[in-house]
Amino acid sequence: MRFMMLMIPKGYEDAPAGALPDAEAVASMTRYNRALKEAGVLLALDGLHPPAMGARVRFSGGGQGARSTVVDGPFGDAGEVLGGYWMLQVKSKAEAVEWARRCPAGPGNVIEVRQVLELSDFPAELQGALRV
């Protein structure tokens, strides 16, 4: 089963463009990432730049007539924002949660653990249409 662990760092929504974690935080996260890799559960991981460097594409209308509007960051209405993710291949949600609990996250940070939808999760009649 694949699970994505989404890092939601406290205060990251207000981080200035180009903000980076300090050397100590990078060192402890590197050790954690290495443990995931050595355990054979890590498929991918990435950190994200602050929202100040991003953009949001909002859609209005529906179907083929949907219109889009682009808003550059920072986003005044941002509550919690993603700071990065890990993609894991594990045997259960409990195992993914256990890995999340081991993360050297700072006070107030949150890791959301979500199972990835697999093609096999959909009814057989939809699986053909979903193949890319």
Q: How many domains does the chain have?
A: 1
The reply to whether the predicted model has a pTM over 0.85 is yes
Would you list the DSSP string of 28-55?
HHHHHHHHHHHTT-EEEEEE---GGG-E
- The listed range with the strongest mean pLDDT (10-14, 37-41, 68-72) is 37-41
Q: How do residues 13-41 score in pLDDT, each as one tens digit?
A: 889 999 999 999 999 999 999 999 999 99
Any domain includes 59: no
Any domain includes 60: no
Per-residue confidence at 65, pLDDT binned at 50, 70, 90? Answer: confident
d(CA 71, CA 58): 8
Say which CATH number the domain at 19 has: 3.30.70.1060
| Average pLDDT over every residue of 47-56 | 94
Any domain includes 50: yes
Any domain includes 30: yes
Phi, psi angles (nearest 5°) of residue 72: -80, 150
pLDDT of residue 5: 98
| CB within 8 Å of 57: residues ≥ 6 apart | 68, 69, 70
In which domain, by residue range, is 107 found? 2-54+66-130
Any domain includes 94: yes
Phi, psi angles (nearest 5°) of residue 27: -65, -45
